[in-house]
Structure 1
Amino acid sequence: MNNKKNYSSIYSMKTYDVAWIVSNCKTRSRRDEYVEKLSKYIDIDIYGKCGWYSCRGSIFQCKKRLSKRYKFMLAFENSLCKDYLTEKIFHLYRDNIDIIPVVRGAPNTVEDLPNNTFVLVSDFKSPRDLAHRLKIIGGNETLYTEMLKQKDKYTAFSDPNEETGIWGVCRTCQLLNNNYQSNKTVDIEKWLSGRSCIITSDL
């Protein structure tokens, strides 16, 4: 954890509630519909092809810049499938970005993320209940900064040249060739065909 951070100062600079960066507007998860309902109870600024605002630079640079002004960032998957977790979540754990992710994904999403570092949509019965909780956390410096401090204990490793996506392939080869790790044969075709996606039920 970075003890040199002035969390009180970080909190005081955040004058907006929620940001969402999105380029794929209509998805199987119907995330746009959820955000529309959520926006009735808390302010959400939408960036990208599906929003009103633009953000220069790479997606990561954009998130880093927005994190200075916003308290929360939506990390909503376009499909709610088991084991489906995209870079949109892990970007928020890179370089200790000072923002709290609001995650909407598959039920087992939480297995891959550290406790008390994010807000999980499925913990709430409705968008209204979620908005209420976000306002409580966002309106309380102690609650908010404690989550940031906890989040700063973790970091996500990713490709410095992430635009190519080649790092993931190389990393997979590296792991497969490490003899000191136990070997396991996986039927990828069976795993892919059996991957379960849930029907949206939180709207």
Structure 2
Amino acid sequence: MGVGRIGAVLAALGMLSVCAASGSGHVAKRETGAEAEGAEPWDGAVFRPPSALGAVGVARNSGTRRPGREEAVDLPVLLWWSPGLFPHFPGDSERIECARGACVASRDRRVRGDSRTRALLFYGTDFRASEAPLPRLAHQSWALLHEESPLNNFLLSHGPGIRLFNLTATFSRHSDYPLPLQWLPGTAYLRRAAPPLQQRAEWRRRGYAPLLYLQSHCDVPADRDRYVRELMRYIPVDSYGKCLQNRELPTPRLQDTATATTEDPELLAFLSRYKFHLALENAICDDYMTEKLWRPMHLGAVPVYRGSPSVRDWMPNNHSIIIIDDFESPQKLAEFIDFLDKNDEEYVKYLAYKQPGGITNQFLLDSLKHREWGVNDPLLPNYLNGFECFVCDHELARLDAEKAHAASPGDIPVPEPHVAQLSHMACPMPTPGFGSVEEIPENDSWKEMWLQDYWQGLDQGEALTAMIHNNETQQRKFWDYLHEIFMKRNQNL
């Protein structure tokens, strides 16, 4: 692209409107996580988790005048390489005000080669090594937003893949802008009253199982259906959805997946009749916790959970969920669930966190209190705008450090680049939901799909890293690099 064309695009950035929405320096803090006797209970509104790919409105400050070209021309530019995430409308660019100052956010790829474009922002699910922007420019940071399941892109679960990025916002507490509680609006969501045990006892007398399973995404890396199938040998499980289905939802409307979402009020009322919910994530990763965990707790059911190995760190107290991996076999787990089902006094101990003062985990309370973004909270920015300002502040600080070095090169060293670490995802190789890898036939769909996908992610990360180090400019060469890595790896087997 010609220099004149890039200059024309960046000149247009000077005529952009002002975003007054995000940035930790511009939003009053609310103690969303504080546990208090007088805290408002959950108001019953349907919880709809934030979607990074949905339309995100940007609040405008009518008292702030539109900047002229001379004000915006020298601002660092943040380019959303995943344009579907661009959290501003209308238009392709927006001036944003953050804690350290202002930046210009854009989704116009024509500005990529300009010296003022300081960061490229990627959505992990959309990131493809074969389509990465090359050559990688030395003055630009790469920032990653990936709050979704690791199954969407296993390249990011390996060191060569995650270290392609300088800044991260992932479900891991160790990422630069951590999002482990993205599915939890606050403590009020957990304190919603559970249905009376008498109602659930009547439900059981009508022939329903104590344990619910609701999944329509089958054949996932965590291989959850294999475990549930074995568990069904020892305890009744009512399975709705497409995976291991043995019951129909009660109404045609709920059976229609186009209308019955997992947060549909009618569906939630139905699910709340069950005392235990099988809550198995689709992938195993530290701090990766979704609605499968929090929704049963909201409804007053006990989650029977497999997912994040660090889940205990986030629970409201030390006696609120049943962790599958604490039991040596599905049979032992079934025996324990049956014991709780028949002993109400022991069962209600798992719901003690719903009582005043029952949330005793200070780490959870502090994490909710101090996060700068909110979930369905109009008084707080969403995490998409929050991460955008986090990147802006980082780039402004980096510019200051570079200027300081230029002014005193003998006294102030060149600023070291910040590089993401493996702990920012920390997702291990998938393992069978039940049994060992050796016991699974070679033609098993899980073995054919997910183990190959996991290790292909490593090859792809190494291939793109090599291309960047060699200053490659043509994306089509990716497949040559990938083939070479694949051949070398097979020679070493």
TM-score bin, normalised by smaller chain? 0.7 to 0.9
Note the alpha carbon deviations across 1:71-101, whole angstroms, 9 max, x for none: 100110111222322221122233xx12111
- Cα distance in 1 between the residues matched to 2:233 and 2:195: 33
2:333 pairs with 117, 125, 130, which one?
Answer: 130
Unaligned runs of 5+ in 1: 178-184
- Cα distance in 1 between the residues matched to 2:389 and 2:295: 22
Q: Which amino acid aligns with 1:196?
A: P
What value does the CA root-mean-square deviation take over the aligned residues? 3.7
Q: Is the 8 A contact 2:225 2:433 kept in 1?
A: no
Change (3 A) 1:108 1:198: farther
Deviation at 1:188, TM superposition (A): 3.9
Q: Which amino acid aligns with 1:111?
A: D
- Cα distance in 2 between the residues matched to 1:49 and 1:32: 11
- Cα distance in 1 between the residues matched to 2:219 and 2:193: 42
Q: Which amino acid aligns with 1:71?
A: K
Matched, 1:86 2:290: yes
Change (3 A) 1:194 1:33: closer
1:106 pairs with 293, 308, 311, which one?
Answer: 308
Equivalent position of 1:38 in the other structure: 231
Equivalent position of 1:12 in the other structure: 201
Equivalent position of 2:249 in the other structure: 54
| TM-score where L is the length of structure 2 | 0.34
- Cα distance in 1 between the residues matched to 2:343 and 2:193: 21
Q: Is the 8 A contact 1:77 1:105 kept in 2?
A: yes
- Cα distance in 2 between the residues matched to 1:98 and 1:186: 43
Does the residue aligned with 2:278 lie in a helix, a strand or coil? strand
Equivalent position of 2:384 in the other structure: 169
Q: Which amino acid aligns with 1:80?
A: I
- Cα distance in 2 between the residues matched to 1:3 and 1:106: 24
Equivalent position of 1:195 in the other structure: 427
Point out the more displaced range, 193-202 or 24-33. 193-202
Equivalent position of 2:481 in the other structure: none
Deviation at 1:171, TM superposition (A): 5.9
Q: Which amino acid aligns with 1:199?
A: T
- Cα distance in 2 between the residues matched to 1:45 and 1:4: 23
Q: Is the 8 A contact 1:81 1:197 kept in 2?
A: no
Q: Is the 8 A contact 2:279 2:292 kept in 1?
A: yes
Deviation at 1:46, TM superposition (A): 1.1
Q: Is the 8 A contact 2:227 2:433 kept in 1?
A: no
| TM-score where L is the length of structure 1 | 0.74
- Cα distance in 1 between the residues matched to 2:349 and 2:386: 33
- Cα distance in 1 between the residues matched to 2:308 and 2:220: 14
Change (3 A) 1:142 1:108: same
Point out the more displaced range, 30-39 or 105-114. 105-114
- Cα distance in 1 between the residues matched to 2:349 and 2:336: 15
Change (3 A) 1:167 1:192: same
Does the residue aligned with 1:19 lie in a helix, a strand or coil? strand
Percent identity over the alignment is 24
Deviation at 1:37, TM superposition (A): 0.4
Point out the more displaced range, 36-45 or 111-120. 111-120
Q: Is the 8 A contact 2:195 2:272 kept in 1?
A: no
Aligned residues: 191
- Cα distance in 2 between the residues matched to 1:65 and 1:13: 15
Equivalent position of 1:120 in the other structure: 323
- Cα distance in 1 between the residues matched to 2:319 and 2:285: 23
Does the residue aligned with 1:122 lie in a helix, a strand or coil? helix
Does the residue aligned with 1:70 lie in a helix, a strand or coil? coil
- Cα distance in 2 between the residues matched to 1:135 and 1:21: 20
Deviation at 1:191, TM superposition (A): 3.7
Unaligned runs of 5+ in 2: 1-36, 38-190, 255-259, 369-373, 393-416, 436-493
Does the residue aligned with 2:263 lie in a helix, a strand or coil? helix
Does the residue aligned with 2:222 lie in a helix, a strand or coil? coil
Equivalent position of 1:22 in the other structure: 215
Equivalent position of 1:180 in the other structure: none
